[in-house]
Structure 1
Amino acid sequence: MTSRLGRTTGAPRRAVRGTRLAAVTFAVALGVTACGGGSGGDGAAGGSATFTYALTGLPTSLDPADYQGDPSRNIGFELASSLFRWDTEGLPNQGCDTLANVDQLTGQLAESHETSEDGKVITVKLRDATSAAGNTLTSNDVKWTFDRLIALEVGTPNTLMQDVADYTADPIKVVDDKTFEIHLDNPGAMSLAILTWAQFRILDSTDVKKHVTDADPWGKEYLLNHSATFGPWTQEPGDFVAGDRLTLKANPNYKGERGDVTKLVFLSVPDASSRAQLVSTGNASYGTGLQYEQYAQLKDTPGVDVQTCASADRIPLVLNATDPNLGKPEVRRAISLAVDRQSIVDAVYRGFNKPSTGGLSQAYGIENTENGTYKHDVAQAKQLMAQAGVGNFPITLHISPSRPGPEAEQIAILLQSQLKEIGIDVKIQTVASATEINTIFHDGTFQALLYLEPPAVADPYYSIFLYNSSFSKLNTYGYRNPELDDLARQVGSMSPGEDRDRLVTEASEQMVENPPFIYLVDRDFVHAVREGFTNYQHAPNGEMFVYTLEQG
């Protein structure tokens, strides 16, 4: 992860890395041979190919209720079986250049939907679909899947239903085998868009219920190593080695459109250099979470395509508003003015990513006003510090190489230097694990923290609401702004259009003038993939959707 961990002298480090890479390469070769194909575009003829996907790690469970970070996300989106998906086919470069908005959805398992006049009931009709176990999709599968997420109190799905889209406590009502209703307390723009999130994949309840017990009424034990979906992939328990590898094969009963990849191998490769090398040599088709130096090198590597696509992901500086100094709006604004965002991007990202320009991501296409644009003005920052009546003071900045990434230390050192100019002494506290940095954030036990905001649903409302409104459970840092709260509620009830854009612009101004999260970097989605495949669908969550890929 971070270069500070395990730093040794040059020769032994190279030897260890070489040994590890050789072992990983050998494991990849064994996996691909067992799958009967090659990685990249070297699959067997006749519309059959294997895609090898090198991840930072693999989860220990395939259960959508057991979310274990990015690996669960990567696998979950690929399993598909969602009611709705992003309609990227008609967008420029299939969504790479422009994010799909919340009105640009199409059915995956859903065939059609109608909304009642008051917006509180959405009636959905299902397509004909069959799981790998041979069971036909029904409304009862949808009902059971949602009941399960609610009963197990699964975090992100329940936040999306209860706080983002305002579903009722018991939202799914079965009408008949192929028709069900979604009930909402209040209508909003996000009502269907949230269902693109991977944890809402519909499970084959007929299959899972064969394995439930009184002690395990929701089949958690069975779903540890069974995907049990209606999507394009299937697997046997032996295809999943918890934390190490997963092989997916084409669901023979899948009726939806799919590309040429018939086997998808996920491999755990914790070391970023090893993942990059596997892609470089063609032993992996794709590697996640590479360092930007590695992306820059791969751009010049024959046989590798480095794709850079629009993203709403951002890196913020989080300041605890319960702190007697950091809670003052003038101090927060001064800190924002003292940050030279362009210099951070120039120093850290090797030509990738952009400095944040305002309260909301540039990927949303909202033009910032003068008041809604971040500025770098140290003199004005010093004036605001004086107005706030604070002298020089120290803060502790928590960082982790797991979130936002291995560049966290570089960013922190630059912030340390820049904030020193206005009398703030930054002490950097590094924590290694994603779990620890998330716990620190959720418990609010920090003065300052470098974080990552990757929206589950890429929409301005989600980005305004999730961390920055006072009525969100994830506002753990005590920020309160009634004007921003009011704008968030209005934006959340409106569909995309000029009126909504006007309110979004006002919200962005509020987030610059009275900062909640102080955004530093707008990140792109960067994908380093082997050449030989086309028809990438660039959904705004940044996932690959290998099942759509075609050879050639």
Structure 2
Amino acid sequence: MTRRALARAARSGPSWRRKAGPVAVLAATALAVTACGGGGGSQSSAAAGGTTFTYAISGLPTSLDPADHQGDPSRNIGFELGGTLFRWGTEDLDQQGCTTLASVDHLKGDLAESWERSADGKTVTVKLREATSAAGNKLTSEDVKWTFDRLIDLKVGTPNTLMQDVADYAADPIRVIDDRTFEIHMDNPSAMDLAILTWYQFRILDSTEVKKHVTADDPWGKNFVSKNASTFGPWTHAESDFVSGDRLTLSKNPNYTAERGDVEKLVFIGVSDAASRAQLLSTGNASYAAGLAYEQYAQLRDNPAIDVQTCVSADRIPLVLNAADPVLGKDEVRKAISLAIDRKSIVDAVYRGFNQPAEASVSTAYGVEMPEAAKYRYDVEEAKRLLEQAGVSNLSMTLHISPARPGPEAEQIAILLQNQLSKVGIDVKIQTLASATEINTVFHDGNFQALLYLEPPAVADPYYSLFLYNSSKSKLNTFGYVNSEYDDVVAKVGTTSPGDERDALVKRAGELLAEHPGFIYLVDRQFVHAVRTGLTNYQHAPNGEMFVHTLKQG
């Protein structure tokens, strides 16, 4: 199946959470009512009137600094703050990107007005559009240079991984030409080198304002930026509008001249309990509730005041088998385990009509019709034959899971896997880790036999997904998978522009990943958004964020 409408689903449990008892939940509810001007009826009219949009998330980060990534709350707020050089041009796609995933050839400028690549591809000359921060400072190339230098010097994880591993930026990538012109230098060009700059941590900071607050002990102004957005995007706020870990109120940047919609105020409230977030939405005390359980999404579908949007996503839930294990490292064993998994029954049992079973080793969201050799099958007898061929019987393995990643459904999936694999003689013992920190530590240390995880690509592109975990060149390949032919094919995907040649390489990579399994994918997740009716012009970017500043009434 080619590109299809999957679903606009909030990412699995955030990497950072805070607990909130009844008092905290009631306080958040009161805040939502106050921010929206009253009870249920008034919130509905407030959303439709384009005045205030209240965004209920699991919790707020303790810092607004793009150098401090604290899981989904950071990315939810970061993408809304905007002000990156490039964005996804979803307005040109069917249903504005809901049914078709935006790709690297759909990039448009955000702060970048125009750009030109050199003949050898290693230099991109960018001209900035005229933009002014809420503090009244004009955007300049020095802001860009300072922002990149800051990310590099502070060794910020995802941006540096994107620049060094996904793309191949020079060590000092930004060269200023004049106030509105600069160059991006790469050691080698790639299809991804501009697409990575859509990631929220690359938002350009108002260096003129931040530098007023630097000290010898804080040369990058982290204390100031942690409390101040310092952006050239559509929103601004006073320092008092941010209550660390609790709430953030954003108002329109009066100096923002790019196109925007009708929402004048965006209020983020932190409510750790998903049922409480769903209740705020259903009663009209929130405009949007992120990260709900699928049962709650299913119930909200019956509420005529709620629009439950489902759109295409490249997010996937994989089973990770440690290739360093003397038994699980065998291709025959890994293929047998994949064959023994009934992916459709897992999705049918767990997701209440949302999400899709993984059909192939490469996500169908990318629109590449995968060959049969790359597709998953359910064949218990073939699985038994492969295990016998590998000389394996009475295999026992421990499966690590966490409700934080991939999400609260992890236990249900694990129990179903336990039952299915028992039919081929594999005994699965389930070990639950409560927090995202624990599951991520186990994964990054490679200290597991089997693990249920989540693959949410920061940049939705076949190369990024193929490289991210399964390439032996990736820092995130902690499970020991090595396939030199796969590495070579994936590297070519990264340097080939979208088209038939690139699609052929993606298909070959998919065949190799199925024949010599790395990650064994189980579920293709959807992006799911539950939002009050009355607003239109949603831009369905491949990162799954809302972009409230584009919303229009009616």
Tell me the residue number matched to 1:486: 488
Is the 1:392–1:423 Cα contact (8 Å) retained in structure 2? yes
Q: 1:218 to 1:367 in 2, by over 3 A?
A: same
Is the 2:278–2:289 Cα contact (8 Å) retained in structure 1? yes
Is the 2:48–2:553 Cα contact (8 Å) retained in structure 1? no
Which of 124, 136, 139 is the equivalent residue of 2:138?
A: 136
SS of the counterpart of 1:477? Answer: coil
C-alpha distance in 1, partners of 2:79/2:448?
Answer: 33
Tell me the residue number matched to 2:403: 401
Matches within 5 A, 1:58-73: 58-73=60-75
Q: 1:28 to 1:418 in 2, by over 3 A?
A: same
Is the 1:40–1:531 Cα contact (8 Å) retained in structure 2? yes
SS of the counterpart of 1:526? Answer: strand
Is the 2:96–2:538 Cα contact (8 Å) retained in structure 1? yes
Q: Does 1:157 align with 2:159?
A: yes
Higher RCO, 1 vs 2 (CA within 8 Å, ≥6 residues apart): 2
Is the 2:47–2:287 Cα contact (8 Å) retained in structure 1? no
SS of the counterpart of 2:374? Answer: coil
Cα deviation code 1:220-271 (max 9, x no counterpart): 1111110000000001111011111000000001111110111000011111
SS of the counterpart of 2:171? Answer: strand
CA displacement at 1:18 relative to structure 2: 7.9
Tell me the residue number matched to 1:388: 390
Q: Which amino acid aligns with 1:271?
A: D
Tell me the residue number matched to 2:519: 517
C-alpha distance in 1, partners of 2:304/2:47?
Answer: 19
Matches within 5 A, 1:456-535: 456-535=458-537
C-alpha distance in 1, partners of 2:433/2:30?
Answer: 32
Q: 1:33 to 1:42 in 2, by over 3 A?
A: closer
SS of the counterpart of 1:103? Answer: helix
CA displacement at 1:19 relative to structure 2: 7.3
Tell me the residue number matched to 1:225: 227
CA displacement at 1:366 relative to structure 2: 1.3
C-alpha distance in 1, partners of 2:362/2:278?
Answer: 32
C-alpha distance in 1, partners of 2:130/2:31?
Answer: 39
CA displacement at 1:424 relative to structure 2: 1.4
Q: 1:117 to 1:175 in 2, by over 3 A?
A: same
Q: Which amino acid aligns with 1:172?
A: I
Matches within 5 A, 1:3-152: 22-33=26-37, 39-43=43-47, 48-152=50-154
Q: Does 1:326 align with 2:328?
A: yes
CA displacement at 1:40 relative to structure 2: 4.5
Which of 301, 307, 312 is the equivalent residue of 2:314?
A: 312
Aligned residue pairs, count? 535
Is the 1:40–1:50 Cα contact (8 Å) retained in structure 2? no
Is the 1:40–1:533 Cα contact (8 Å) retained in structure 2? no
C-alpha distance in 1, partners of 2:147/2:23?
Answer: 44
Q: Which amino acid aligns with 2:413?
A: I
CA displacement at 1:21 relative to structure 2: 5.4
Is the 2:47–2:535 Cα contact (8 Å) retained in structure 1? no
C-alpha distance in 2, partners of 1:275/1:484?
Answer: 43
C-alpha distance in 2, partners of 1:143/1:430?
Answer: 44
Tell me the residue number matched to 2:351: 349
CA displacement at 1:30 relative to structure 2: 2.6
Q: Does 1:416 align with 2:418?
A: yes
C-alpha distance in 2, partners of 1:170/1:219?
Answer: 21
Which of 212, 215, 233 is the equivalent residue of 1:213?
A: 215
Matches within 5 A, 1:181-192: 181-192=183-194
Cα deviation code 1:166-193 (max 9, x no counterpart): 0011100000000000000111100110
Is the 1:234–1:249 Cα contact (8 Å) retained in structure 2? yes
Cα deviation code 1:321-368 (max 9, x no counterpart): 111111111111111000000000000000110000111111111112
Tell me the residue number matched to 2:5: none
Tell me the residue number matched to 1:238: 240
Q: Does 1:285 align with 2:287?
A: yes
SS of the counterpart of 1:527? Answer: strand
Identical-pair percentage: 70
Cα deviation code 1:54-93 (max 9, x no counterpart): 0011100000000000000000000000000000111000
C-alpha distance in 1, partners of 2:262/2:230?
Answer: 22
CA displacement at 1:33 relative to structure 2: 4.0
Is the 1:41–1:551 Cα contact (8 Å) retained in structure 2? no
Q: Which amino acid aligns with 1:411?
A: I
Q: Which amino acid aligns with 1:68?
A: Q
Is the 2:48–2:533 Cα contact (8 Å) retained in structure 1? no
State the TM-score, normalized to the length of structure 2.
0.94
Is the 1:38–1:49 Cα contact (8 Å) retained in structure 2? no
CA displacement at 1:23 relative to structure 2: 4.4
CA displacement at 1:32 relative to structure 2: 3.0
Which of 258, 261, 283 is the equivalent residue of 2:260?
A: 258
C-alpha distance in 1, partners of 2:310/2:513?
Answer: 27
SS of the counterpart of 2:529? Answer: strand
Cα deviation code 1:307-333 (max 9, x no counterpart): 000000000001111111111111111
Cα deviation code 1:484-529 (max 9, x no counterpart): 1011000000111001001101111111111100000000100000
SS of the counterpart of 2:91? Answer: coil
Is the 1:40–1:51 Cα contact (8 Å) retained in structure 2? no
RMSD of aligned Cα (Å): 1.6
Q: Which amino acid aligns with 1:152?
A: L
Tell me the residue number matched to 1:301: 303
Tell me the residue number matched to 2:454: 452
Q: Which amino acid aligns with 1:435?
A: T
Q: Which amino acid aligns with 1:24?
A: A
Is the 2:319–2:521 Cα contact (8 Å) retained in structure 1? yes
SS of the counterpart of 2:372? Answer: coil
Is the 2:123–2:184 Cα contact (8 Å) retained in structure 1? yes
Is the 1:41–1:533 Cα contact (8 Å) retained in structure 2? no
SS of the counterpart of 1:210? Answer: helix
Which of 273, 276, 293 is the equivalent residue of 1:274?
A: 276
State the TM-score, normalized to the length of structure 1.
0.95
C-alpha distance in 1, partners of 2:195/2:26?
Answer: 43
Q: 1:266 to 1:390 in 2, by over 3 A?
A: same
C-alpha distance in 2, partners of 1:141/1:65?
Answer: 16
Is the 1:339–1:418 Cα contact (8 Å) retained in structure 2? yes
CA displacement at 1:39 relative to structure 2: 3.8
Q: Which amino acid aligns with 1:188?
A: S
Q: Which amino acid aligns with 1:25?
A: T
SS of the counterpart of 1:267? Answer: strand
C-alpha distance in 2, partners of 1:41/1:376?
Answer: 50
Tell me the residue number matched to 1:13: none
C-alpha distance in 2, partners of 1:363/1:144?
Answer: 36
Tell me the residue number matched to 1:7: none
Is the 1:38–1:51 Cα contact (8 Å) retained in structure 2? no
C-alpha distance in 2, partners of 1:244/1:400?
Answer: 25
